[in-house]
């Protein structure tokens, strides 16, 4: 008997809506979980997924992907790539695994919400596969780092980070809780898959795969390329949902969800990906600056995705375009200066050669961030290490949970964006972060930032030791300079020459 | 006297920082407390300058001997610490 072509039966087979007789439609699909857009089942049946895959096809392809990634790992296990890697590269791996691995499991539950509660049969099918994708990503990104745990305690943060109160994890959780753990199925499809995955994970995974290959870490390069092939499929879940919403007069709600998610994703990338690309990656291996990468992936490609969909650019686009050449420099300086609070060892990335590159990519760097680094470098050269560490907390934003910062030195433009709500004074890092809060204050008002917790006496004793214990950073885990300040030698030599001259 | 948290926005620095002061402190003492976390760490000292305090967005500095308790500041409010030629 001849087997039918997939396209001869796919649409019919996944048309799994029916008219409930024993319960109401709202009981079967509670609006809180299915989306409060007032659209009936029939409207969602027009959802047309661009990527049609059946379960047997999925299993076959995924099996091959797993076999590929795991066999590369097995083949290279004795290659000592990890032991011989540049310390900056190890930091990239640690930051990535800690911030991402357990988030993949969280994403699996978000996919599961679309799988069960979306009224669109096509979305339910795609999300079924998407949910299994995310379980795979969680498992791989916990299994792959595990071989390094015995060599380096910080690698344990691949598993541990998500359960801690480390500040960057509070920021990551706040964002992911907002866009995927506490939203209805349709909002998840817009905020997680369309906004975050189409816009940003492409960049994290493709950019890192290229960096990993450059660094000679083929295990990691294969792992994340393998993951990215899943992402680029299930990232397409949100597009058709946006189309349904827009066709049914809900553009404004759709747009707002995109605007909120894109901003949060940007802030998270400015602290995780920005420093990696422009500071941790050895100069010889840098392909593009973070700004150039953002311009290619977000400004050019995502902008087109938005307008093709019939959406507008987010209202804050001009602010965003300005910030992509500034924010991540501050995020790097901040995370580096407060380095004991990281689970990886940040690379400074400020040798004279690297500064020449920074100045070329970001004209004015030396007169702004460079001025702060000059003071820092003098302290290292003088052996005045106490002054290279902080003695207080940076003030963090009540939305993105990241330090409130701006451009220093000659371009000084640092500013707080405060808001009083129900008698409490909130602080935000930008007009956009404050706008997000104002869209739904009750949703966010109860959250305590790390600074709020400190002021409430939840962190004891009230000093750096207490803060590190609160963040679950054990000795041997807290971060310090990736190269043990060896990079400062060139400045010491420069000073000697100047003295001699 | 009581502990009073403020947020320091120090001229030339890149980040807001938490500074714990006392309601009895003067604005000069507030500026000195903020300077501990910026000057010599990421901002160079400016010889021949003193530090003045103003509320964010204000053009006038708060009087140097004004006490925190009398300045009308809210807990955690952001103050700008600005270099002024002596
Ligand atoms: Fe994933
Ligand atoms: Fe995903």
Chain B residues with CB-CB distance to A374 below 8 A: 44
Which pLDDT score is estimated for A498? 86
pLDDT band at A85 (very low <50, low <70, confident <90, very high): confident
The answer to whether residue A115 sits within a structural domain is: yes
Question: Helix, strand, or coil here: A107?
Answer: helix
- What is the pLDDT averaged over residues A423-450? 98
The answer to whether residue A206 sits within a structural domain is: yes
Element (H, E) at B20: strand B17-22
- What is the pLDDT averaged over residues A216-244? 94
Instruction: Provide the shortest C-alpha distance from residue B62 to chain A (in Å).
Output: 19
Cα(B20) to centroid of ligand 2, in Å? 43
Instruction: Nearest chain B residue to A403 by CA: give it.
Output: B15
Give how many domains chain A has, as a whole number. Answer: 1
C-alpha span between A471 and B52 (Å, rounded): 35
Residue for token pair 């502990």:
B3
Which pLDDT score is estimated for A360? 98
Residue for token pair 């976390």:
B37
The answer to whether residue A235 sits within a structural domain is: yes
Select from B14, B18, B20, B75 the residue whose CB has the most chain A CBs within 10 Å, as the one to mutate to test that interface. B14
For B77, how many CA atoms within 13 A lie in the half-sphere containing its CB? 15
C-alpha span between B79 and B83 (Å, rounded): 13
pLDDT band at A264 (very low <50, low <70, confident <90, very high): very high
The answer to whether residue A60 sits within a structural domain is: yes
Residue for token pair 């999300």:
A127
- Is residue B49's pLDDT more than 70? yes
Q: Per residue in A317-368, pLDDT tens?
A: 999 999 999 999 999 999 999 999 999 999 999 999 999 999 999 999 999 9
Q: Per residue in A458-486, pLDDT tens?
A: 999 998 889 999 999 998 899 999 999 99
pLDDT band at A302 (very low <50, low <70, confident <90, very high): confident
Nearest to A234 by CA among A362, A58, A377: A58
C-alpha span between B82 and A97 (Å, rounded): 41
Cα(A131) to centroid of ligand 1, in Å? 9
- Is residue A452's pLDDT more than 70? yes
- What is the pLDDT averaged over residues B56-64? 96
Per the CB < 8 A criterion, the answer to whether A57 and A5 are in contact is no
Which pLDDT score is estimated for A199? 79
- In whole numbers, what is the pLDDT of chain A averaged over residues? 94
Put simply, the answer to whether A375 touches B40 (Cβ < 8 Å) is yes
Which pLDDT score is estimated for A7? 86
Select from B3, B8, B15, B78 the residue whose CB has the most chain A CBs within 10 Å, as the one to mutate to test that interface. B15
Which pLDDT score is estimated for A210? 83
pLDDT band at A205 (very low <50, low <70, confident <90, very high): confident
Q: How many CB atoms lie within 10 A of CB B85?
A: 7
Scored b (16 or more CB within 10 A) or e, A137-164 reads bbebbbebbeebeeebbbbbbbbbbbeb
Name the percent of chain A lying above pLDDT 70. 100
Which pLDDT score is estimated for A318? 96
Cα(A231) to centroid of ligand 1, in Å? 6
Put simply, the answer to whether A408 touches B42 (Cβ < 8 Å) is yes
CA A211 from chain centre, in angstroms, equals 17
Which pLDDT score is estimated for A1? 63
C-alpha span between A408 and A371 (Å, rounded): 8
Q: Per residue in A41-54, pLDDT tens?
A: 999 999 999 888 99
Cα(A418) to centroid of ligand 1, in Å? 35
C-alpha span between A440 and A413 (Å, rounded): 28
The answer to whether residue A270 sits within a structural domain is: yes
C-alpha span between A110 and A308 (Å, rounded): 26
Please give the residue that has the higher pLDDT: either A4 or A383.
A383
On whether any CB of chain A is under 8 Å from the CB of B58, the answer is: no
Q: How many CB atoms lie within 10 A of CB A2?
A: 4
Select from A326, A392, A400, A461 the residue whose CB has the most chain B CBs within 10 Å, as the one to mutate to test that interface. A392
Instruction: Nearest chain A residue to B43 by CA: give it.
Output: A372
pLDDT band at A275 (very low <50, low <70, confident <90, very high): very high
Which pLDDT score is estimated for A285? 86
Q: Which long-range contacts (CB under 8 A, 24 or more apart) does B25-32 make?
A: B25/B67, B25/B68, B26/B64, B26/B65, B26/B66, B26/B67, B26/B68, B27/B52, B27/B53, B27/B61, B27/B62, B27/B63, B27/B64, B27/B65, B27/B66, B27/B68, B27/B71, B28/B64, B28/B65, B30/B6, B30/B68, B30/B79, B30/B81, B31/B81
Residue for token pair 């640092």:
A414
Put simply, the answer to whether A455 touches B76 (Cβ < 8 Å) is yes
- Bridge-based pairing state of the strands B78-85 and B3-10: parallel
- What is the pLDDT averaged over residues B57-75? 97
Cα(A47) to centroid of ligand 2, in Å? 20
pLDDT band at B50 (very low <50, low <70, confident <90, very high): very high
pLDDT band at A383 (very low <50, low <70, confident <90, very high): very high
> What CATH code is carried by the domain that includes residue A156?
1.10.620.20
Instruction: Nearest chain B residue to A394 by CA: give it.
Output: B17
Angle A403-A404-A409 from CA coordinates, rounded to 5°: 105
The answer to whether residue A161 sits within a structural domain is: yes
- Is residue A402's pLDDT more than 70? yes
Instruction: Provide the shortest C-alpha distance from residue B34 to chain A (in Å).
Output: 10
Which pLDDT score is estimated for A2? 74
On whether any CB of chain A is under 8 Å from the CB of B76, the answer is: yes
Q: What is the 3-state secondary structure (H, E, C) of A67-91?
A: HHHHHHHHHHCCCCHHHHCCHHHHH
- What is the pLDDT averaged over residues B25-48? 98
Question: Helix, strand, or coil here: A18?
Answer: coil
Per the CB < 8 A criterion, the answer to whether A271 and A335 are in contact is yes
Which pLDDT score is estimated for A116? 97
Q: How many CB atoms lie within 10 A of CB A182?
A: 12
Could you tell me which residues are beta bridge partners of residue B83?
Answer: B51
> Among partner residues B5, B42, B78, which is closest to A455 by beta-carbon distance?
B5
Of the bound ligands, which one is closest to the alpha carbon of residue A180?
Answer: 2
Chain A residues with CB-CB distance to B76 below 8 A: 395, 425, 427, 451, 455
The answer to whether residue A276 sits within a structural domain is: yes
The answer to whether residue A154 sits within a structural domain is: yes
A473: containing domain? 55-500
């Amino acid at each position: 008997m001849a087997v039918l072509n997939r396209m001869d039966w796919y649409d019919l087979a996944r048309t799994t809506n029916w008219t409930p007789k024993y319960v109401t439609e709202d009981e079967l699909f509670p609006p809180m979980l299915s989306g409060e857009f007032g659209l009936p089942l029939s409207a969602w049946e027009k959802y047309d997924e661009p990527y049609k895959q059946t379960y047997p096809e999925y299993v076959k392809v995924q099996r091959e992907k797993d076999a590929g990634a795991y066999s590369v790992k097995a083949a290279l296990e004795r290659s000592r790539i990890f032991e011989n890697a540049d310390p900056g590269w190890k930091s990239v791996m640690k930051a990535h695994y800690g911030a991402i691995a357990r988030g993949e499991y969280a994403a699996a539950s978000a996919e599961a919400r679309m799988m069960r509660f979306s009224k669109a049969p096509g979305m339910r099918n795609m999300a079924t596969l998407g949910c299994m994708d995310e379980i795979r990503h969680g498992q791989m990104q916990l299994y792959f780092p595990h071989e390094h745990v015995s060599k380096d305690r910080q690698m344990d943060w691949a598993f541990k980070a998500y359960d801690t109160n480390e500040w960057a994890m509070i920021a990551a959780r706040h964002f992911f809780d907002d866009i995927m753990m506490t939203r209805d199925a349709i909002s998840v499809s817009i905020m997680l898959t369309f906004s975050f995955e189409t816009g940003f994970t492409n960049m994290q995974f493709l950019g890192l795969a290229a960096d990993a290959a450059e660094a000679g870490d083929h295990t990691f390069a294969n792992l994340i390329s393998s993951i990215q092939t899943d992402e680029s499929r299930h990232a397409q879940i949100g597009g058709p949902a946006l189309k349904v919403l827009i066709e049914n007069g809900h553009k404004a709600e759709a747009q707002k969800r995109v605007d909120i998610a894109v901003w949060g994703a940007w802030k998270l990338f400015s602290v995780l990906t920005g420093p990696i690309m422009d500071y941790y990656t050895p100069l010889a291996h840098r392909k593009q600056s973070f700004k150039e990468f953002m311009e290619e992936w977000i400004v050019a490609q995502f902008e087109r995705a938005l307008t093709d969909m019939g959406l507008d650019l987010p209202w804050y686009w001009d602010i965003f375009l300005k910030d992509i050449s500034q924010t991540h420099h501050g995020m790097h300086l901040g995370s580096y200066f407060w380095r004991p609070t990281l689970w990886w060892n940040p690379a400074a990335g400020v040798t004279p050669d690297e500064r020449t590159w920074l100045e070329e990519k970001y004209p004015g760097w030396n007169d702004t961030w460079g001025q702060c680094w000059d003071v820092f470098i003098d302290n290292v050269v003088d052996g005045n290490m106490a002054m290279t560490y902080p003695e207080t907390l940076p003030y963090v934003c009540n939305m993105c949970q990241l330090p409130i910062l701006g451009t220093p030195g000659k371009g000084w433009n640092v500013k707080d964006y405060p808001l009083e709500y129900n008698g409490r004074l909130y602080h935000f890092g930008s007009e956009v972060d404050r706008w997000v809060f104002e869209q739904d204050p009750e949703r966010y008002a109860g959250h305590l930032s790390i600074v709020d917790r400190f002021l409430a006496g939840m962190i004891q004793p009230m000093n750096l030791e207490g803060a590190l214990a609160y963040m679950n950073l054990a000795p041997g885990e807290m971060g310090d300079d990736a190269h043990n300040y060896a990079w400062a030698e060139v400045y010491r030599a420069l000073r000697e020459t100047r003295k001699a001259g | 006297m009581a502990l009073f948290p403020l947020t320091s926005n120090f001229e030339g620095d890149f980040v807001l920082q938490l500074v714990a002061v006392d309601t009895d402190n003067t604005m000069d003492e507030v500026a000195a407390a903020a300077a501990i976390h910026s000057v010599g760490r990421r901002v160079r000292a400016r010889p021949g300058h003193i530090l003045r305090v103003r509320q964010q967005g204000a053009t006038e500095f708060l009087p140097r001997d004004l006490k925190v308790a009398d300045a009308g500041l809210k807990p955690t409010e952001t103050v700008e610490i600005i270099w002024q030629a002596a």
